[in-house]
Structure 1
Amino acid sequence: MRHFLDFEKPIAELEGKIEELRRTTDAGGIDVAEEVGRLRDKAHKLLQATYAKLTPWQKAQVARHPERPHASDYIAGLIEGFVPLAGDRAFADDAAVLGGMGRFHGRAVMVLGTERGDDTESRVKHNFGMARPEGYRKARRLMELAGRFGLPILSFVDTAGAFPGIDAEARGQAEAIARSIEAGLDAPVPFIATIIGEGGSGGAIALAAADRVLMLEHAIYSVISPEGCASILWRDAAQASVAAEALRLTGEDLKRLAIIDAVIAEPLGGAHRDAPAIIASVGVRIEEVLEPLAALDGATLRARRREKFLEMGRVGAL
């Protein structure tokens, strides 16, 4: 059964009626094809109207939808012969960060991604996509490996942020994130990051200090979650919708502010309604931006990438 968000309740009611009528037909009842068609058309129009005017807070809810495709889905759909590589060679392997080599449209690449998991067991295994220091050190190791072997880097970001636990802080969380960002900026190969769901804080930037940052239409990308921002500013997480407006965390806002490079349109109703379609669209956009980057030498890539991120912090740039 499809999971509906709070603001989708009218759509859920219509789709529920459609399903009831279908069951009536399957059970040998009266022909209700005409009524089903009418309700389906009404539900489609309501879905269009709803998603045409989503607020930033509603987009945050869509970005966190439990049925939304995860990094593992994009890797499975876009990367042939994927070989996972584990461990940071210092402490442990972190399942919140996936990494490995494979082929994207016939080209050998290094792939990274933050993985949330899709059921209780896998979410616990992947720590809900919140990496510990060993996850970012693994990312750094694989980015450096990609540089040595001339492999373009593709990353798929979907995390609420780095894990804030005491054990993570004790093992140098901030340093690990900073070193991962440094490795991304210093990589002598093309680096393309795609924000596929939630891009939260330094935990997201650690895998997104890239030549090109793509972002799905209903993804979010911000220095802090709306709830966290509301708790700090108003001491009330219930003000999250107000914080979401102020944070400018949507793809449209971030493209205008030159924080990201492109917004990828999602299927009507969000990526979770047609996972194969959005995965294919992401593949097309990655190929479009990868081709010209692959023609540049390492020194040029590094210089342009560093300038890109320095520009974001200059007074007046925004």
Structure 2
Amino acid sequence: MTIARRLILAAPAIAIGGSARAQPAGWTVATEYPATSIPGEGVTHFATAATARGVPTTAATDGPGGYRSAAALSALADGRFAAVDSFAGSMNAVDPLFLLSSLPFLTASHADAARLRDLARPHYLAALEKHGATLLWTTPWPPSGLWTRRPVTTPEDLRGLRVRTYDATGTEVLRAAGANAEVLSFAEVNARLEAGTLDAVLSSGDGGAGRQLWRWLPNFTELDYAWPLSLGFASNARLAELTPAQRQAVTQAGAETEARQWQAIVGRLEANRRVMRDNQVAIHDPEATLRAALRSAAGGAIGQWRSTAGSAAVAILTAYGV
């Protein structure tokens, strides 16, 4: 059996409900986020664009088969998927560079996030290439805030709060500010909220994610903590199975998806607010003391990241003006 044949048989059939061995020839692109979140919309758009260009592709959302962003590169290497969306900060164990976009209070707008992305793109490409993957598109998340059971607007409100964070930096920052923080995949959050072992979630107010969270957490504090990225990338082994024309089609589908994602973020923040209010979510502005406490806590986390991320990552921050 050829390598290409083994890889095709290894790809899961989650999206059509069959076993892994029943998956037809074609690509599956996975994300751990809901279909109506902005990363979910991205994988759906990519699948549609690739299919239209002659590479049949299925989008699989909501963490198919237990897929998690932190294990994205392993999922590709194992042949589970041809391409994936991964929250960048979750891959910090692979390379600290992936924490860049979720460093606290580094980006304050869509434009800031785009500028930081442009500076970092060559380094994302190189880091993924080392692990047999090719970057196809990036997705900006709306700014992160706190979903909570009760309003959180002061430093005192954070004391002892059991908070889910999405990366190691966020955990360090919130712990330094007095919270009991831990990194959890988004796919683990619902069960923890249902069990009552979480009080809060650091996340954006975005579509599908919000629709799940507001069932337990009817308050959202707009911290403007970060505009983090998700990355869409493909297995080099699966790309090598394609004809040159098909590889070009995948590249074009990725570029089209990136353009779509960065256009979609414009106006999404206000749209998310409207949907949140329509579903009785109370939106809060933090008091100046809470912003100051979090910025103070963030200083140590960013300093530690600088010391471990390497010269290339530090050069990005320097070019960015930090």
State the TM-score, normalized to the length of structure 1: 0.29
Higher relative contact order, chain-length normalized (CA < 8 Å, sep 6+): 2
Q: Please identify the structure whose Cα radius of gyration is greater.
A: 1
State the TM-score, normalized to the length of structure 2: 0.29
